[in-house]
Amino acid sequence: MRVYISADLEGISGVVATDHTSSEGSDYGRARRLMTAEVDAAARAALDAGAEEVVVNDGHGGMRNILIEELSPDVKLMTGTPKIFGQMEGIDRGEGFDGCIFIGYHARAGTHGVLNHTISGGVVSSVCINGREVGETGLNAALAGEFSIPLIMVSGDTHVCEQAREIVPSMVTVPVKEAVGRYAALCHSPERARRLIGQGVSEALERMQNGEIEPYRVSGPVEVLLTTADTAMADLAALLPGSRRVDELSVAYEGEDVTDAYRALRAMIYLGSCSRR
């Protein structure tokens, strides 16, 4: 059994502010240790459940947050950026994974939830796949599904857990905090959060092995619709060959499959971000 873990920072218990999530923030060092500990709890639970290989992909910001020296020695860490599939880099590697787990995820842009956004808070107002609005959870679940890998567990605040179950109702969700606002939350202690994550991973792997959780599949062709924060960003996003300007703020791209659309979306967001330079 091979398990893939994609990790973000905004959904970690105790993390509520940009001082936690920015590498220049005064509380960043503490936040990255909390992130590392939750990821390690998930990885160790997977190993205890019989996983022969656990790969962790650091998916926040510059993607160099997780402290490798504080992980189980039996875990492999994907770190650094840029990566073609970003938070899901390596999901297509080797013999394939049996299931994937998202740790520290957050709600999509424009919805309730701690530090809510989608990929790039300064550029993205919303993302839709084939007409359905999704956040990072939905996007990444669809990419995993392209390789027949089910998303079996998500941890984060209560709102991302609700959004995850909309995508895959049978998955396990582990809320480690309850959003009070965008920058405030009622948080479990780190010890309890890690214990809940470990229990969630054990339950999720059992459900997966029993065939209770199916991959989230999006059939091609796949249209991704990016709505940007301002018109200059849409001007630049529309430079991507094959894209189509939909309105003042929105650019669409139709791909053959999820991997094609996913890469195009990342390129459009990057192009849009250049308007701020």
Residue with tokens 């959780």: 213
Entry field: residues in the chain: 277
User: Per the residue annotation, which of 20, 60, 117, 159 is the catalytic one?
Assistant: 117
User: Rg of the chain over CA atoms, in angstroms?
Assistant: 18
For residue 91, with 0-12 CB atoms within 10 Å meaning exposed, 13-18 middle and 19 or more buried, which class applies?
A: buried
Q: Is 117 a catalytic residue?
A: yes
Q: Give the Å distances, CA to CA, from 197 to 27, 38, 57, 104, 225.
A: 23, 7, 17, 10, 33
Closest C-alpha among 86, 83, 72 to residue 3? 72
Provide the token pair at 261. 């659309």
**Catalytic annotation, residues:** 117
